[in-house]
Structure 1
């Protein structure tokens, strides 16, 4: 399931980025950004949106049960695992090479 997360993230980001690149001026002229979000690029907002959908509190016991019985990793690892291995994320947020969110060696699938 984690591999599916990464594949879906990559496909959706590539489609998003293609649309944004082709229509950047129109996007900035037509869309009103939420207050306090104007400093983010469209790519950064994409990744923030991706992470936001997994944002929830789960207890340590719930994490344990999820690991033992579930097919998905806990939410924190679904976000950080996928994004830390995604070069476009590291580039969008200028993460230093070797940091937690931009390891020197990434798990690349395609």
Structure 2
């Protein structure tokens, strides 16, 4: 059984800033997974779909800017490739920007299916 925990207001606003930043650059299917109950080292994954190249870079730049404005440290970026880019804001929030093909292939939501999805009321 997974445990759920309450997300503090600061983390909640940081996650919302990341989600909003991705959506501003037209990322699709943006999801936030709370990994705290299923991982001893990770807290949150943000997963978003973008087309390769220019859109992936536009989403990355906007997420980085808005996340830092929300108080997160400068992210470390792994990749970047034309299919998948990973941004780590410390150990607490990891953002995965992926093409639709990469997202379907790696199936992070399936791999972390025990994690609770975090939703943001509009």
Which bracket does the TM-score occupy, shorter chain normalised? Answer: 0.3 to 0.5
Structure with more strand by fraction: 2
Structure with more helix by fraction: 1
Higher RCO (C-alpha 8 Å, min separation 6)? 2
TM-score after normalising by structure 1 = 0.38
Give 1 or 2 for the bigger CA radius of gyration.
Answer: 1
